[in-house]
Amino acid sequence: MKNGVIREVIEAPAVVLEKAVEVSENLGQALDQQEQLKAAKGYWKSLGPGLTTGAADDDPAGIATYSQIGARYGFQFLWMAIFTFPLMSVVQEMCARIGLVTGRGLAANIRLHYPRWVIYISAVLLFITNTFNIGANLGAMAKASQLLFPSFNFGLLVVIFTFTSLALQIFSSYEKYAHILKWLALVLISYIFSALMVNLDWTAVLQGALIPKIQFTSDQILLITAVLGTTISPYLFFWQTSQEVEEQILEGKTTLKLRQKETTNDEINNMRTDVWSGMLLSNMVMFFIIAAAAATLFANGITNIETAADAAAALRPIAGDQAYLLFALGIIGTGMLALPVLAGSASYALSECFGWKYGLYRKLKEAYAFYGIIILSTMIGFGINFSGLDSIKALIYSAVLNGLIAPVILILIVLLSSNKKIMGNRVNHPFTTALGWLITVVMVIAGALTIISLLT
């Protein structure tokens, strides 16, 4: 009895120590989880214009393009998602930096420093291009909704999407609307999940991603230029720059003088995290849409895909209801995200050109012209769906116009962000400038090839 008590007394500290270690480990894990959660919340909070701009790039028109590539050529062009990632990231970073440093939108900067006729012509062409895209996206969203609810009327669905988008842009405060757009960006994850639900041949995926293959046929050249035009698009340049200004105003920098105070390293670092994260998400989605179409449609001989709704419908008997559902919902979600970016970017450009009051932070009565352009562009896009104009042809027309606009705006972006008088110590690094000129040359070639291929 006595020996048992003594043994317990001797062993007690070891038991206590063991329990203390266990509690300490549990506490450490809990603290680690809290730190990870805190870091995740901080990262999410740092995301904004870059995330929504990157996500808006994957609109229904873009989804249709990526689906076409996967359906026609399998995994062969997966490398395009990797190739375009740094290119579009560098361009959007330059646009964001111009907005942060100057406190003005892109069109306002071009109007101030270069011949005005350049930005006038570019802004009008941007309005026309974006309007065609709005019409095509509204139609795609309605078609995707009919896949889920076949009895719903196409015209009624177009009406619902049109006026829902306009109501959010006109009557929501910028802060609330920015949050809505940010959460809508997460819809893109549905495409990643839909791809992972199908049986991917990862060896073929890696080969397609890492080994570029081009036959230089007219069809392949047209699809490559379509991808470049879809990922490095003028409307994204204007939206990114203006949204940086909107964010500054939201932070209390309501005057140009306040916005032009020296930009801090933290602001630049946060902006770069935001931009590169948004472009990474955009290109990941492109990657997985191509992969999903390759593994399902191409593998089963289905190569005639013209719209995003076609791709979703074709997926159902091959990949199952879940992949089909995620794909269709993604079309609707990305369309709702892209509509305000398309209409808003055109309105920012035109309003800045003509010196009108602009900004989503303003109420309707404070910026009639700005909101009027948004309404006009959206309503013309709405009308395209009832005009008898083929939405595919509308996208072709917009691709030609993008081919004309993009190189001109890219040249001005590189010149602006490289100008020390304008950017101060936030001027481009020489390597960034070199990449900017490379991207411009690539887009000039892509634009020329697009126009030539469509005219011949």
Q: What is the pLDDT of residue 163?
A: 94
Asked whether residue 138 is domain-assigned, the answer is yes
Asked whether residue 37 is domain-assigned, the answer is no
Q: What is the pLDDT of residue 345?
A: 92
- What is the tally of structural domains in the chain? 1
Measured between alpha carbons, how far is 373 from 351 in angstroms, rounded to an integer?
8
Please check whether residue 263 is in contact with residue 422, taking contact to mean a CB–CB distance below 8 angstroms: no
Task: Determine which helix (DSSP H) or strand (DSSP E) holds 280, and give its type and residue range.
Answer: helix 265-296
Please check whether residue 324 is in contact with residue 316, taking contact to mean a CB–CB distance below 8 angstroms: yes
Please check whether residue 419 is in contact with residue 427, taking contact to mean a CB–CB distance below 8 angstroms: yes
Query: Cα-atom radius of gyration of the chain, to the nearest Å?
Result: 25
**Which 3 state secondary structure label does DSSP give 47?**
coil
Measured between alpha carbons, how far is 354 from 294 in angstroms, rounded to an integer?
47
Our measurement of the distance from residue 314's CA atom to the centroid of its chain's CA atoms, rounded to an integer in Å, reads 25
Residue with tokens 């191409």: 298
Task: Determine which helix (DSSP H) or strand (DSSP E) holds 186, and give its type and residue range.
Answer: none
Full DSSP string of 71-92: HHHTTTTTHHHHHHHHHHHHHH
Asked whether residue 428 is domain-assigned, the answer is yes
Asked whether residue 31 is domain-assigned, the answer is no
Q: Give 373-401 pLDDT, tens digit per residue.
A: 999 999 999 999 998 777 666 766 776 67
Measured between alpha carbons, how far is 385 from 389 in angstroms, rounded to an integer?
7
Please check whether residue 275 is in contact with residue 92, taking contact to mean a CB–CB distance below 8 angstroms: yes
Enter the tokens of residue 159: 């009406």
Asked whether residue 154 is domain-assigned, the answer is yes
Q: What is the pLDDT of residue 21?
A: 56
Q: What is the pLDDT of residue 19?
A: 55
Alpha-helical runs (H) found in 74-188 = 79-102, 106-113, 116-148, 154-171, 174-184
Q: What is the pLDDT of residue 5?
A: 47
Please check whether residue 123 is in contact with residue 346, taking contact to mean a CB–CB distance below 8 angstroms: yes
Per the structure, the complete domain to which residue 387 belongs is given by 48-455
Measured between alpha carbons, how far is 250 from 48 in angstroms, rounded to an integer?
12
Task: Identify the CATH number of the domain in which residue 83 sits.
Answer: 1.20.1740.10
Neighbours of 39 (CB within 10 A): 10
Asked whether residue 32 is domain-assigned, the answer is no
Enter the tokens of residue 78: 């997966």
Residue with tokens 């995003």: 308
pTM as predicted: 0.86
Q: What is the pLDDT of residue 27?
A: 53
Enter the tokens of residue 216: 């230089």
Enter the tokens of residue 446: 């892509």
Asked whether residue 29 is domain-assigned, the answer is no
CB hemisphere CA count around 144 (13 angstroms): 31
Q: What is the pLDDT of residue 9?
A: 46
Please check whether residue 382 is in contact with residue 138, taking contact to mean a CB–CB distance below 8 angstroms: yes
Q: Give 246-271 pLDDT, tens digit per residue.
A: 888 888 887 888 888 888 888 899 99
Measured between alpha carbons, how far is 332 from 114 in angstroms, rounded to an integer?
39
**Which 3 state secondary structure label does DSSP give 389?**
coil
Q: What is the pLDDT of residue 230?
A: 80
Measured between alpha carbons, how far is 365 from 346 in angstroms, rounded to an integer?
19
Q: What is the pLDDT of residue 392?
A: 64
| Four-residue CA torsion sign, 168, 107, 134, 305 | negative
Asked whether residue 6 is domain-assigned, the answer is no
Q: What is the pLDDT of residue 427?
A: 93
Helix-helix angle 368-384:154-171, to 10 degrees: 170
Which residue ranges in the chain fall short of pLDDT 70? 1-32, 308, 315-319, 391-393, 395-396, 399-400, 450, 453-454, 456
